A = this chain, B = another copy of it.
Amino acid sequence: LPDSRDATAGAAAPFDTARLDALMAEAGLDVLVATSKHNVQYLLGGYKFQFFSVMDAIGTSRYLPVFVYFRGDAGRSAYVANAMESWERELGRFWLKDVVPAAWGTADSVELAVDRIRASGLPAARIGVEMPFLPADALRQLEAAFGRSAIGDAVVVLERLRAVKTPAELALVREASERVVEAMLAVFRAARPGITKRQLVEALRREETDRGLTFEYCLLTVNTGLNRAASDEGWKKGGVASLDSGGNYHGYIGDLCRMAILGAAPDQELVDLLAEIEAIQQAARKPIRPGALGREIIEAGEAERRRQPNGKAMAFVAHGIGLVSHEAPRLTASGPVPYPADDAGRPLAEGMVVSIETTLPHPTRGFIKLEDTVAVTATGCIGYGDGGRGWTVAG
């Protein structure tokens, strides 16, 4: 192996290695090969190589960071990086000793990872990968080295490892949420009649960027429309708008939805409609505390939805959020993102973060929605970015 040990590194792992070991044992995995940007960031304690933070492709291959973890032996962990990450190593960014900034594509990245697994003396190891984030050519390389049956999936192992956030992570989710809401309110303030959906998205992108966020997306409606894509449609005076945007702060996603009317106060019907949604959003927060089952959030929200006059037309969902926009605790099976609601029957824990959404695509008044971010505290819960949850008068 090339001598890549960094004499300045060797600190303790920045994640719960005992928990990772237990999750890997439960899944029958000896070695973990993480290749998604979000999980590599997590395992590196927050580090992400900026050069490839937006794109992946370069030449006829792609950037492929590889974090190799050996169950029960965190000190043996290796990070295979792009050659340009040598500058980051020089600056002491890494907790682990074996950092190898030497690769330019999938083939050389995986080869360096294979070398390390072979050198570990675990030739018959069962290797957990992230199937959706391992490139096909990398899979074939691992299969050629270790056999097809040696490869297992570690997506859920890593998701569970990340489910309880540290105070430092919670601070990032809070910042992300608050800054997204501040950016939305700034966009509402500056809006003038005729501003198009496309211009609103671009304004939000800039407001989020100016607040240190990486803008990810904005779904939006104006007037009575239910189509949430950007377009040249203009926002009219007196019209309703919904802004639903995700922006990340150092990788942690703030994802919220806020409502406004342009240059006018809401009429009583609009006030009532948002109050129905608000009642559901608050009802869903009520059961949140350590030890409550995930499904209690869904049950409380659904029960309140059924009580509302417009409840039948509404959709209520809740899902964990963090480095991934829908992650553990996974609570809703019937929502728009149909991943198994594996965590509905599991207890919530302090440090989990849940996004709660109630949506009403109203046939005559437009698209009305609130989406909030709520963290589980020692005794209950706290909302992050709870500003602007009523009707904002824009313009």
Contacts and interface: CB of A to CB of B under 8 A. Distances in A.
A64 B59 CA distance: 21
A338 B155 CA distance: 31
Interface in A103-146: 104-106, 129, 131-140
A132 B106 contact: yes
A62 B217 contact: no
A27 to B, nearest CB: 13
A131 to B, nearest CB: 4
A301 to B, nearest CB: 19
Given A137-B132, A228-B87, A54 B54 contact: yes
Interface stretch (A8-16, A69-77, A205-213, A235-243): A205-213
A355 interface: no
Interface string A153-171: 1011001000000000000
Contacts of A139: 136, 139-140
A7 interface: no
Interface residues of A, number: 71
A326 B105 CA distance: 12
Number of chain copies forming the complex: 2
A23 interface: no
Contact of A83 (B51, B156, B336): B336
Given A209-B209, A217-B50, A59 B326 contact: yes
Contact of A219 (B51, B132, B323, B330): B51
A206 B215 CA distance: 12
B202 A133 contact: no
Contacts of A229: 87-88, 90-91
B129 A84 contact: no
Given A139-B136, A214-B54, A339 B59 contact: yes
Contacts of A60: 132, 155-156, 159, 330, 339-340
A202 B108 CA distance: 32
Given A132-B136, A209-B209, 11 more contacts: A50-B218, A52-B217, A55-B216, A57-B323, A58-B337, A59-B324, A61-B155, A87-B227, A91-B227, A104-B338, A139-B139
13 contacts: A50-B217, A53-B216, A58-B337, A59-B330, A60-B156, A60-B159, A105-B132, A129-B136, A134-B136, A135-B135, A139-B139, A209-B209, A209-B215
